[in-house]
A and B are shown apart, each in its own frame.
Chain A
Amino acid sequence: MDIAEEHNGDVTIVEIKGRIDSNTSRPFGDRLTGLIKAGRKRIVVDLKNLVYISSAGFRALLLAGRLAEESQGTLVLCSLSSEVQRLFDLGAFTDLFPIYSSREEGLTKLS
């Protein structure tokens, strides 16, 4: 898994490439919670190049989402492939996060 980060005004875009599994869920979660703790409260997680996310990855995402909520921040997701969307649906995670079809839409909603 690779993580690329860029800033667009006060919005941080975190782009994930590869798999979020038992080995990569920790660096993934640490990156998101690190950003929130550092005061970056508007985050778009771009999942266009995510291959899959395991339950360990969903746990990390839930913890980051909660931390964002507690910090009066917003964490949104965008660009899920149909395979990744299916995992969100199977795990009943779809309604727990704002999910947008494109990065641009996510940025517009957060701006």
Chain B
Amino acid sequence: MQIEPSGPTLLLHSKMTSESSGTHFSLRIGNTINEMKKVVDLVERFGSAHNVSKKAINELNLCLDEILNNTISYGYDDKGFHSILVTLTLVGDLMIAEIVDDAKPFDPRQSTPPDPSQGLGERRVGGVGLHFVNALMEKVDYSRKNGCNHLKLHKKL
């Protein structure tokens, strides 16, 4: 799927789909950190609509923050506008967040746990965000299709 770079940055809809029993919420944001606030709101609304626990909502929001920050900060070689599509779906007892972007190929499923022996002076934070994602989500799926990264975060309700 090619992401359309133009058009409104907010496409929010909630509908039952025939191919699954889940409800879909989706949102298209631009590639700036400021745009990420809209995703936090989307996840909160999705959680309220489906009685999802605060803990699950917060953990999903934290992981989306890590993934989107990574993509927006390091994923693009140009300074142009890019669109990122975030879709939330409820399937059984799982909340699934799918992120589709046309950034450089990046598979976040590999992460190294931080080294607890490092003190305050030498400690670096790089890699911790992906470690959070892989530790807090039940499952992370990644594929590269038609020039886009497709990432799916699975969180138990």
Chain A residues within CB distance 8 Å of chain B: 19, 21-23, 51-52, 54-56, 58-59, 62, 65-66, 69, 83, 87, 90-92, 95-97
Residues of B contacting A62 with CB < 8 Å?
A: 120, 123, 125
Q: Chain B binding site: helix, strand, loop or mixed by DSSP?
A: helix
Q: Could you say which of B61, B119, B128 has the most chain A C-beta atoms within 10 Å of its C-beta?
A: B128
Residues of A contacting B62 with CB < 8 Å?
A: 21, 52, 54, 87
* 12 more CB-based (< 8 A) A-B contacts, given A23-B33, A90-B136: A19-B40, A22-B33, A22-B68, A23-B36, A51-B58, A52-B58, A55-B128, A58-B125, A58-B128, A62-B120, A90-B135, A92-B115
Mark contacts of B11-26 with chain A using CB atoms, 8 A cut-off: 1 yes-contact digit, 0 otherwise. 0000000000000000
Residues of B contacting A51 with CB < 8 Å?
A: 58
Question: Is A59 touching B125 in the complex (CB atoms < 8 A)?
Answer: yes
Residues of A contacting B120 with CB < 8 Å?
A: 62, 65-66, 69, 96-97
Distance A21 CA – B40 CA, assembled complex (angstroms): 10
Is B116 in contact with chain A by the CB < 8 A criterion? yes
Residues of A contacting B121 with CB < 8 Å?
A: 66, 69
Residues of B contacting A87 with CB < 8 Å?
A: 62, 132
Closest chain B residue, CB of each to CB of A96: B120
Distance A58 CA – B125 CA, assembled complex (angstroms): 7
Question: Is B66 touching A55 in the complex (CB atoms < 8 A)?
Answer: yes
Q: How close is A40's CB to chain B, nearest CB, in angstroms?
A: 19
Question: Is B37 touching A23 in the complex (CB atoms < 8 A)?
Answer: yes
Mark contacts of B102-136 with chain A using CB atoms, 8 A cut-off: 1 yes-contact digit, 0 otherwise. 00000000000111100111010100110110011
Closest 7 pairs between A and B when the two form their complex, measured CB to CB: A55-B129, A92-B116, A92-B114, A59-B125, A22-B69, A55-B128, A21-B65
Is B34 in contact with chain A by the CB < 8 A criterion? yes
